Structure 1
Amino acid sequence: MKQTVFEANKPDMSVVDASLENSKLSCFWLEDAQPNAPHYAQLDEDILADFAVVGGGYAGLWTAIKLKTEHPDAKVVLLEAKRIGWAASGRNGGFCEASITHGEPNAEARWPDELAQLHRLGVENLDAIEKFLIENDIDADWERTGALEVANEEYQLAYLEGEDPEDAAATDTVLLDTEGVRSRINSPTFLGGMYSARENAIVHPAKLAYGLARHAAKIGVEIYENSRVLDLVTAKSGDAPIRLQLQGASVAADRVALCTNVFPALLKRYRFHTIPVYDYVLMTEPLTDEQLAAIGWEGREGLSDLANQFHYSRLTKENRILWGGYDAVYHAGGKIRRKYEDRAETFNKLASHFFTTFPQLAGLRFTHRWAGVIDSSTRFCAFFGEAFGGRIQYVAGFTGLGVGATHFAADVIVDRFAGRKTERTELNMVKEVPLPFPPEPFAAVGVNMFRWSFDRADRNDGKRNLFLKTMDAVGMGFDS
């Protein structure tokens, strides 16, 4: 097996150790936005509602906003088990991508007949988010900077060369040679790249969650924090309210939207449709003007590479560099545990890869390190479920690209509640439910086999082994 560029060009370990020495295990976004975080009461009584939304992340917030906007006289209640945006919505990399399918290749493999439609809807969705934030004066450090994908290995250049010129032109994509990509972001590992001007925005994740919550409350959504739903009970009668049982309180609602992301589905039929995968992130101290000049990055693009185990990176408003990805760790049993968030092996690996990519930044320190849990599905992107004659709607499985896709998902849920057949609801992507993951211990064996196979492919010119080819053929998958 070949060495990857990150193994062949490792920085001195003293540089890595020094960079992490004073970092703290804390999510930068949540810490940065905490002084201005809104607070909402805990539900401590039984109430009635027209609509109840479970989950105070992006999917739940967008859904509550859209329901209240469409039904201003309805009582819309949002229930969050802890704090608004505390989980994936406040911990992610701060990329808001146009793709609602976890990238064009995933859509092409699964829904080739809908590819152009899915791409158009994705860009329209991103445009709609931007318009909403501007019109409602929501400060979330939003910047429509576009996306830059780079090749770090010779074999990855073939992916760029295989890009259809007509498709590239239609999506405002520019192919870059070595000189072109390094003129945007200067790294000795970058051999070529692809820049898409309209495909991505960067955003402050926690500010976005808090801004959406404030807007929801302003228009009349009742938000309750520290209000975990323990059980969902449906009556035999189709007209009877759906009851959400909490500790010492309950909500009886006509319709319920379940937006619980990686946490166990309240509908048992979907319990095996997602698994929790831990993703790890580092954040640097702010760059000096000299350090920023050394790497360029004047366009402030969202950055990722073309490996199976890929990195993602971006600049913050204060010119810190967020650096994450590569490792995607599933812990046997599918549990979500605080202790899983501190993984020295992964943080050391990320820091090493960072200084391979940007050796000119040796001496830069990481101030924060953290992890977030991704709700991975077997098709890599969100799926939609329903129950009780459509009065219960469910969405999950965003697989790490939910910042933009949650807005699209909320539109689907609102359409379905209204009984509308729209372009969105009639997509095969929306109507099809993916295969579930197998139960333990098979899930752990399978996921670790995927990780091993992706690592082998990245060391073998991207060539997929028999296991990956077989999984491609049956429609099962895992993505880092």
Structure 2
Amino acid sequence: MSSSLPTYSHRRRNEASRIARSLEGASTVPFWLDSPDRPAPEPALAGDTTADLLVVGGGYSGLWTALIAKEADPARDVVLIEGREIGWAASGRNGGFFEASLTHGEDNGRRHFADELAELDRLADENFDEFVATLDRHGIDAEFEHTGALTVATEPHQVDALREAAGDAEFLDRAAVQALVHSPVFLAGLRERHGTALVNPAKLAWGLKRVCIELGVRVFEHTPALSLRRDGDGVAVQTKAGLILARQVALATNGFPSLLKRTELLTIPVYDYVLMTEPLTAAQLESIGWAERFGIADSSREFHYSRRTADDRILYGGFDAVYHRGGKIRKAYDQRRETFETLADHFFTTYPQLDVRFTHAWGGMIDMCSRLSAFQGVAMGGRVAYSAGFTGLGVGATRFGAKVMLDLLSGESTELTRLRMVRSKPIPIPPEPIANPAIQIIRKAVARSDANEGRDGLLLKVMDRFGVGFDS
């Protein structure tokens, strides 16, 4: 059976002309940000100012930190600065998959935090519910849909693995998964309804920004932080336009260069790429049978993810994770024709019945750490907190990271600050010139694992023993 199945690889299965035609004229702007609903940026900082709490970074992590802090203490003077525009980076261009997990999935959680996994699962459920309650309380229209998720087997050896992992989820054999989604590559599935949902990522960021401003947070966009240092009982943060003196600082810069030397080697910037189709017609939707808007991911290490949007497009991304020598972050890296062509080829392998074009093709940096789940900590005598390393699963986990940062800044021992997950740090990633060749070797090992029916070679086994993860 396996020899007759279409499979994913870097070798193209579809005609080059079909791939080229599908990508012709695709916008380089992330689909979610290419919207008339995009709000105008707030003015940049002009001159010096002070704050009780300064939040550096205007993605989900920073927005949640500012919002939660202000809700807890309306009198607290909270300032948020963003180097460009709110939500312009990973928070505004991700796939919009909202998973409750704080540990990048159960397997990864068991690998690193087995002794407190039950507690982390409970906290994840609480965070999920509080996230949804905040959207309802403040009327944030983020196109939230609690539709669940479907994990599919695309290789014969993955079928038994899904069956064994079912737990409370619903295992679907080939007939059952084909009844949900008609694709020749889907051999089985796992339907999870608990703690998984979809959002419009940009509308979520913009909604959080609106609420922050309504609560009294002073937001300054186009205000990059250049440095920070201790200043008496507080912290001084230098920007291009002036100095901000704050009693406390929360750093929510994720994969961008850290303002703290101690965290420089804890994350690397990895580039992920995505395609978005034109809206599907009723006949095209019927041909694939994807009636409900649940997200889909396959079981390979080099995995794909896809979802339907509110206007019946299909977002399709993943497989290729690209690290650039030196950990450089450049706008030019947001576009990678080779990866877009690979994704288009895999899309048509998945849905050969669809003849569509892609209206948007984009990419961007995500912050990756060696344990694949976020970490937090403090510096400068407890005056500065940081949170980073979400590794592509930050839509929900960033809210939890924000709560941890605020608890750490309080200086009190809390349920969150006592977690080993919070007290521990991922294994540092070596600097250049070691990083690039090491990462390329690992990427090849990951590809070999997929080609070898999921059996890891010695390198990946050793990495797993030392708590280092690496997927696409």
Bin of the TM-score, shorter chain as denominator length: over 0.9
Q: How many residues align?
A: 469
User: Does residue 234 of structure 1 match 2:230?
Assistant: yes
For 1:344-395, what per-residue CA distance to the aligned partner results, in whole angstroms no more than 9, with x for missing partners?
110000000001100111x201000000211000110111121122111001
Cα distance in 1 between the residues matched to 2:307 and 2:318: 12
2:207 to 193, 211, 215: 211
Report the AA paired with residue 77 of structure 2.
Answer: K
Distance 1:276 1:9 in 2: 27
Residues 38-437 of structure 1 correspond to what in structure 2 (within 5 A)?
Answer: 38-163=40-165, 168-169=167-168, 173-235=169-231, 237=232, 240-361=233-354, 363-437=355-429
From the superposition, tell whether residues 219 and 391 of structure 1 become closer, same or farther in structure 2 (CA, over 3 Å).
Answer: same
**AA at the equivalent of 2:207:** G
Structure 1: segments with no counterpart, 5+ residues = none
Return the offset for 1:158: 2.3
- Residues 74, 155 of structure 1: CA spacing in aligned structure 2 closer, same or farther, 3 A cutoff? same
Aligned-partner Cα distance in 1 for 2:408–2:326: 34
TM-score (norm 1): 0.95
Q: Is the 8 A contact 2:60 2:395 kept in 1?
A: yes
Give the aligned residue type for 1:24. Answer: S
Contact in 1 for aligned 2:306/2:317 (Cα 8 Å): yes
CA distance in 1, matches of 2:142, 2:121: 25
- For residues 367 and 54 of structure 2, the distance between their equivalents in structure 1, rounded to whole angstroms, comes to 22
| TM-score normalized by the length of structure 2 | 0.97
Contact persistence 1:383–1:430 (CA under 8 A): yes
Aligned counterparts of 1:386 and 1:16: Cα–Cα separation in 2: 48
Following TM superposition, by how much is the alpha carbon of 1:4 offset from its aligned partner in structure 2, in angstroms?
7.1
Aligned partner of 1:18 in structure 2 is: 21
In 1: Cα distance, 2:324 partner to 2:28 partner: 19
Letter in 2 for 1:100: L
Q: What RMSD over aligned residues (CA atoms) do the two structures have, in Å?
A: 1.6
| Whole-Å separation in 2 of the counterparts to 1:479 and 1:423 | 31
Aligned to 1:463: 455
Q: CA deviation at 1:163?
A: 1.9
Amino acid across the alignment from 1:474: F
1:385 and 1:115 mapped to 2: Cα distance?
20
Amino acid at match of 1:371: G
% identical aligned pairs: 49
State how far apart, in whole Å, the 2-side matches of 1:183 and 1:124 are. Answer: 33
- Aligned equivalents of 1:388, 1:52: Cα separation in 2: 14
Distance 2:344 2:392 in 1: 21
Task: Tell me the distance in 1 between the aligned counterparts of 2:133 and 2:189.
Answer: 29
Which moved further from structure 2: 321-330 or 107-116? 107-116
Partners of 1:414 and 1:329 in 2: how far apart?
33
How far has the Cα of 1:422 moved from its partner? Answer: 2.8
User: Contact 1:59–1:410 (CA<8 Å) still a contact in 2?
Assistant: yes
Counterpart secondary structure, 1:244: strand
Structure 1 residue 14: deviation in Å? 2.6
